[in-house]
Amino acid sequence: MALMPKRIKFRKSQRGRIRGVAGRGNTVAFGEFGLQSLDAGWLTARQIEAGRVAATHFLHREGRVYIRVFPHKPVSSKPLETRMGKGKGEPEYYVACIKPGTMLYEIGGVEEDVAKRALSRVSHKMPFKCRFVVRRHGV
Amino acid sequence: MELAQLTAESRKAAGSRAAARLRKEGKLPGIVYGHKEEPQAVALSLHALELALQHGAHLLELNLDGVTQQVLIKEVQYDHLGTTPVHVDLARVSLDERVNVKVSVELRGTAKGIKEGGILDLTLADIEVQCAVASIPETLRVDVSELGIGQSLHVRDLKLPDGVEAMDAPELVVCTVRMPITAEAVEAAEEGEGTAAPEVIGRKEKEEAAEE
């Protein structure tokens, strides 16, 4: 099931711009290995779900998959064959705004080579370049 | 105990542009403070510090403008990708001093529960300990071979080396062995998630007010 907010303050939002790099949410915090984005972009709820399914399917329910991003931003669109005007379209789906460096997924409880192969499959579902990272210990 | 030796020079130019210029030259801006002396902005070799960090060093022997002093790596700031250090905090210490440091946990052995089909979850990868500067452990080795399914290892259960004291709460869970998540549990969790449109905060009140 695709992720979406339970309660929102405004049904529709403007498109906005993704500026800068990830200053937070850019370290492996829960698992031992992570998938880090190298580009900026929108990650739709469907893509997040596709990544989760790819990882859990590969891991055969071993280990643990953490999703580090959430689609907060509603994206609206106009129905097909509609004339322009008559106001903004209805929200169609939700996206997460991703900055370079954002940790997208994390995996714990499995060996490094298994995590690497699982996250490689996930990276194929992502709309931007990603890389595999290992948790940094100590300072 | 052999310490990693680094040479640093004091720097006068402060600010982000001066720091960026330093980084271009392969140097790393940092600061040395502690022992009730004036904080001193320094520049040191990035490569040398990275080597020391790779070897798990906590303590360094810093040659600052010809004067040698022992310093503890307090914090290393990384860039947005977490690959290149951009700044380092060094604290002056003496070897008999006790300090608080974070030490990583290294799990040893195969848990009993894993042989029965369980999964080992490491929840606390780094533990804050207090110890003498000269005896900071590289890692804390934790034997998990006795852990069965559903059993956890807490901070209070850790066997720490002499003179090392855990500063984290004793009831914190370090690792636990749990059963794998079943397909039924995943389905049940998914059924709970609705597909309906999100509730708009404060909308009802406004609508009611409009009707009035």
CATH number of the domain encompassing residue B9: 2.40.240.10
pLDDT tens for residues B107-143? 888 888 888 888 888 888 889 999 998 888 888 898 9
Question: What interface predicted TM-score (ipTM) does this complex get?
Answer: 0.88
Contact criterion met (CB below 8 Å) for A132 and A116: yes
Nearest CA in chain A to B128: A138
Q: Do B125 and B165 lie in a common domain?
A: yes
Contacts with A1 from chain B: Cβ below 8 Å: 190, 193, 195
Q: How many CB atoms are located within 10 Å of the residue B206 CB?
A: 10
The least confident of B31-45, B72-86, B168-182 is B168-182
With respect to residue B161, please indicate whether it lies within any of the assigned structural domains. Answer: yes
Domain stops at, among B93, B109, B125: B93
Report yes or no: B114 at the A interface, CB cutoff 8 Å.
no
CB contact under 8 A, B180 and A61: yes
Tell whether B80 is within 8 A of chain A (Cβ). Answer: yes
Predicted local confidence at residue B114, as pLDDT: 85
Q: Can you give the residue ranges of every domain in chain A? A: 33-75+91-134
Residue B117 sits in a domain whose CATH number is: 2.170.120.20
B68: in domain: yes
Tell me, what's the pLDDT at A60? Answer: 84
Q: Is B20 on the interface with A (CB under 8 A)?
A: no
Tell me what pLDDT residue B9 has. 92
Report pLDDT for B193: 59
Find the mean pLDDT for residues B94-110: 89
Whether B34 and B110 map to the same domain: the answer is: no
CA dist A17 → A13, A48, A98, B176 (Å):
12, 20, 11, 42
Q: Return the residue matching tokens 């040479």.
A: B7
**Looking at beta carbons, which residues of chain A come within 8 Å of B75?**
139
Candidates B60, B72, B80: best to mutate against A (most CBs of A within 10 A) is B80
Q: What is the mean pLDDT of chain A?
A: 94
- Based on the domain organization, do B15 and B55 belong to the same domain? yes
Q: Indicate the range of A38-52, B57-71, B155-169, B190-204 predicted with least confidence.
A: B190-204
Question: Who has greater pLDDT, B119 or B33?
Answer: B33
Tally of structural domains, chain B: 2
Q: Chain B: nearest CA to A129, how far in angstroms?
A: 13
- Can you give the pLDDT at residue B209? 60
Whether B63 and B8 map to the same domain: the answer is yes
Set of chain B residues whose Cβ sits within 8 Å of the Cβ of A7: 198-201
| pLDDT for position A94 | 96
**Residue B78 near residue B50, CB atoms below 8 Å:** no
Task: Average the pLDDT over A117-130 and give the result.
Answer: 97
The predicted structure's pLDDT at residue A52: 94
* Whether residue B57 is found in the same domain as residue B25: yes
pLDDT band of B73, cuts 50, 70, 90: very high
CATH number of the domain located at residue range(s) A33-75+91-134 in this protein: 3.90.1170.10
A11–B200 CB contact, under 8 Å: yes
Q: Which of B70, B93, B116 is the last residue of a domain?
A: B93
Residue B54 lies in a domain: yes
Q: Residue B5: how many CB atoms within 10 A of its CB?
A: 12
CB-CB neighbors (< 8 A) of A26 in chain B: 80-82
Helix extents (H) in B25-160: 46-54, 112-115
Chain A residues with CB-CB distance to B125 below 8 A: 32, 135, 137
The answer on pLDDT for B191 being more than 70 is no
**Assigned domain for B60 exists:** yes
The pLDDT score that the predictor gives to residue B139 is: 86
* Subunit contact A8:B183, Cβ cutoff 8 A: no
Q: How far is A9 from chain B (nearest CA, A)?
A: 5
The answer to whether the CB of B106 falls within 8 A of the CB of B139 is yes
**Domain extent for B61:** 4-93
How far, in Å, CA of A132 to CA of A48, rounded? 17
Bigger pLDDT: A112 vs B55: A112
pTM of the predicted protein model: 0.87
Over its C-alpha atoms, chain B yields an Rg (Å, rounded) of: 25
**Spatial separation of the C-alpha atoms in residues A105 and A35, rounded to whole Å:** 5
